Structure 1
Amino acid sequence: MKLNSTVLLTLILLVLMLGAGSVSAFWGFTLGSAALKGVTAPDARPTSKYTSAKSAKEQHAGVAFLKEDQILKIVKSRIEGKTKAAKSRKKDDDDEQVNTSKAKKEEKSTPAAEQEKPQEGFPINAQSEGVSLSVQSARFSGGALLLKVQMQNKGKDSVRFLYSFLDVSDDKGRTLSASTEGLPSELPVNGSPVSGTVSIPTPLLDNVKRISLALTDYPAQRLRLEVPNIPVER
């Protein structure tokens, strides 16, 4: 009985030892597999080494160094190209500036030439005591008749004018209202010619073909400037 108990205990211990060893082995295998997961062995194939060596050789062979004379030629051609481009741009700028200057001169000279061209039947002059009054032109513009007038004093004394005394009449003897612009209140002796404008509203000139101007000095009224028969053309 005692022997059977000993044998049974021995078998139980043996089974427990085998079970513990199996569990330990399985647990060790599981931990080792998890630790080596994602780790691959190096590629020791000879074809791969040959391909890597060939690629490196090709990359090394692709780098080409230029000779000194070739570098100098390239630099020289680039410098010459930039110089020619700069000269070409400068020439274009100069040509554009010259053309602009010519255009401006033509724009300035054209109106002056038109103004200097005398209107047919003008100027009409009047003179008294060395003082002259000249009507240079008569043109309609902006709802009024504009008379371009020029005055000069070559007499002995300076002369003063009050243009409210300017008398404007038509060919039927009717008095017309007028306004002046640019005419001086006083003309000095031997002064330069002075220009101005006499403006007459267009509605006052219906069926009018000619008008007349008359002006006297103020306050002495020693002279009288009369410009008759100024043609009015529409």
Structure 2
Amino acid sequence: MKFTFTPTIALSIVLVSVMLGAGTATGVYSYKMGYEALKGVSQPDTNPTQKLASGKKASLNPQEFVPVKEKDILKKVNDYIKNQKNASSSKKAQKEASKGDKQSAVNPSDDQAASQNSQVAQKFPLQVEDQGVTLEIANAIEQGGSLFLDVALKNNGQKAVQFLYSFLEVKDSQGNALSATTDGLPAQLPPNGENFRGKIQIPGTSNLEGQQLSLRLTDYPAQKLQLSIANIPVVR
């Protein structure tokens, strides 16, 4: 039997050769890509199954549960409450201190006024004596636009002295006469050395702040006594 090489057989051989070549090329290319992709991957140093096994062993021996004592819990709660109260008190004290500083910064005149009042208080009492009769000004207070003088009269002389307080003379620093009224002072001062206290009110002194007044009182009708006191301060 004679084999005949026909064009159909030749075409079949060519197709099979092409398919084999394409399959081989594809396999080689796929292997190369997989190799490149796994270059950064290495085998783990330890076996993961060993870790799982050791974990199971540890879980077989659990630690004993120890409950927290109630006393310890209450102590921690009390300590926390105390700390919160202390923090709150500290903040409140800081706010009050800050508020006080702001008020003193806003109203520095209050401190100045207090200092002036203290200096004025140190000037009293003011006192004058003539022929055994003593006139004393113990204090001066400004209220409602008027100056109130706390005064005392005492007679250590030999005879009684009469006063007419309409003759009381009060002047400001410029020598201007001011009106004045008395309260509680006797019209006749007996010679027994007793202190008779009263008040002298000088209205309209609100515009005389910082000035010094002078006061003069004489007896009536002889007008032989000269009870004069100067440098009486006027402050609010």
**TM-score, normalised with respect to structure 2:** 0.47
**TM-score, normalised with respect to structure 1:** 0.48
